[in-house]
Chains A and B, each alone.
Chain A
Amino acid sequence: MIRLQDVTKIYDGGTVAVSDVALDIPKGEFVFLVGPSGSGKSTLIRLLLREEETTRGKIWVAGKDITKLPSWKVPYLRRTVGTVFQDFKLLPQKTVGENVAFALEVIGRPRTVVHTQVSQVLELVGLDGKAERFPHQLSGGEQQRVSVARAFVNRPPILLCDEPTGNLDPGTSVGIMRLLDRINRTGTTVVMATHDHAIVDAMRRRVVALDNGMVTRDQHTGRYEEGPSQ
């Protein structure tokens, strides 16, 4: 589903954010990207979204080499990849329902389909009855649920999450992780950058550790800190 071949990203000014990273993530896998701040986790997510371009190497997403993708095709890539961020990135002037619907509106879904799918996904994330609220009227956990709902509403094959529990308390974080796990069980590939030890240790999924832009560990069912693979 996702393949990185010797990917290097050097920012203007010479900072090496990602160095010779090679990864294969099959369909339906749940992968944690772990590592300290500045290790390259977020850059990797940005590269997968084509928010940044690689300096060297190739990236395939859903069978397409996105390093060769012309700019005008980038929106099509992003429609196949759901994204969840630490700061939720919700549109403040739109209601919960409108925020979620936006992901369907951009791909031209008819209004009746949009209405049905938005209702279904809001129910899935536990926000039915809150479609008319604005983001500022919700708690942090609820806002992140809206963000997950928007990312998943058009059933993308891949979900990229950059520190989705970074702004949430432990209890709320567990709720979000249950939701992501549920989405993963539908066959969606989930790649999640985090430095939340408790969550990684509790989930026991594949762990890819990064340090100074390089992959230092790749365990099939690992923990946050290095330990025996199971």
Chain B
Amino acid sequence: MTRPLYLFREALVNMWRNPMVVAGAVLAVFVSLTLALGAVVLGEIVRVNTVQWQDGDHVIVFLKGSADGITLESHIGLENEIADWDVVESTRYVDQTGAYEEFQEIFANSPALIREVDPASLPASIRIQLSDISRWRDVQLRLIDKPAVRSVTAQGTILEGISGLTTGLNVGALLLAVIQAAAAVVLIANTVRMAIYARRDEVGIMKLVGAGNWFIRIPFFIEGLLEGLLGAGLAVVTVALIRPWLAEAGSAVDLIQLDVADGFFWRRAAILILFGGLAGLAGSTLGLRRFLKV
């Protein structure tokens, strides 16, 4: 038991006596993994917001009103007809009062605009949620010539645009995370290698005194592991501190949610810390290889 304790103590003493080298390695891990975790969180934010869009109303049918000779009964009749279609999951009727309430909610920050708008000018509508959103064009075509219909807005066009954008963002975020993770390993390897290079005479002396390769290696491994864990831990703390601030910023915009679920975040954080430790070990292994020839 003496030896493992001795080797662990050796690593801690080495770190204590080389604060600049340790700080360099920890910062290298910290910067790379903060960006990597940031990219993972960004990817999740994009996914969450895409799901929200996909869960919303896919097709909105704006209806003509009494001025055009269209009655409430016609509105209800049309809604019932649409609800029977195979491709439709559900329908919701929003009358003029409901439309005005929604308008007030959306433009809550623009009271002047709300004052200018006459509730009677806002049309009633039928909100349709599709069971298969890829068929939104068929639904639009079937509705457009109905006498009670003023216009049809398909969220599908927006969805298609957003879907393309979010796929791009997701792939970009994933790519960024992978690049940052690879950069972390390279940076740690380089930093540990420089640390060992600076102490190559020391390694030579240890060998002269009869220290075996593992006896020399293990404190460096522990050092790399601790530096990796410390850097990754700092990265997690940093992103965890940014999260509430980001969520608050996101809450100001109705349609966007700039936060991720706690479970998602802490699971990824645990993986990141594990990765930091492994990257530290890998860095030490790569860094030591050259200096341990007998």
Contact = CB atoms under 8 A, between A and B. Distances in A.
A78 B2 contact: no
A146 interface: no
Contact of B207 (A72, A78, A90): A78
A76 B17 contact: no
B2 A108 contact: yes
Contacts of A77: 210
B6 interface: yes
B205 interface: yes
Interface stretch (A23-31, A98-106, A118-126, A172-180): A98-106
Given A108-B2, A110-B2, A102 B207 contact: no
Interface residues of A, number: 26
Contacts of A108: 2-3
Given A93-B14, A93-B17, A93-B18, A106 B209 contact: yes
B126 to A, nearest CB: 78
Contact of B205 (A74, A90, A111): A90
Interface string B205-228: 111111111010000000000000
Nearest to A83: B208
B10 to A, nearest CB: 8
B294 A74 contact: yes
Contacts of A76: 210
Nearest to B211: A106
A150 B294 contact: no
Contacts of B210: 75-79, 103, 106-107
A150 B2 contact: no
Nearest to A156: B210
5 tightest A-B CB contacts, nearest first = A79-B210, A78-B210, A106-B211, A75-B212, A71-B294
Contacts of A102: 206, 209, 211
Interface string A67-101: 00001101111110001000001111100000000
B247 to A, nearest CB: 46
B248 interface: no
B14 A78 contact: no
B211 A75 contact: yes
A49 interface: yes
Contact of A91 (B205, B212, B213, B215): B205
B199 to A, nearest CB: 8
B202 interface: yes
A91 B207 contact: no
A102 B207 CA distance: 11
Interface string B183-216: 0000000000000000101101111111111010
A89 B208 contact: yes
30 contacts: A49-B208, A50-B294, A71-B294, A72-B212, A72-B213, A75-B210, A75-B211, A75-B212, A75-B213, A75-B294, A76-B210, A78-B210, A79-B210, A89-B208, A90-B205, A92-B202, A93-B13, A93-B17, A93-B199, A93-B202, A102-B206, A102-B211, A103-B210, A106-B206, A106-B209, A106-B215, A108-B3, A110-B2, A111-B2, A150-B209
A110 B6 CA distance: 10
A203 B208 CA distance: 28
A74 B199 CA distance: 21
Given A50-B294, A75-B294, A103-B210, 5 more contacts: A75-B210, A75-B211, A89-B201, A102-B211, A105-B6
Contacts of B201: 89
Contacts of A83: 208-209
Interface string B7-27: 000000110011000000000
A102 B215 CA distance: 11
A228 to B, nearest CB: 38
A30 to B, nearest CB: 22
Given A74-B294, A150-B209, A91 B202 contact: yes
Nearest to A49: B208
Contacts of A92: 202
A111 B212 CA distance: 19
A92 B200 CA distance: 12
A71 B2 CA distance: 26
B22 to A, nearest CB: 13
Contacts of A111: 2, 6
Contacts of B3: 108
- Tell me which of A71, A106, A108 has the highest count of chain B C-beta atoms within 10 A of its own C-beta: A106
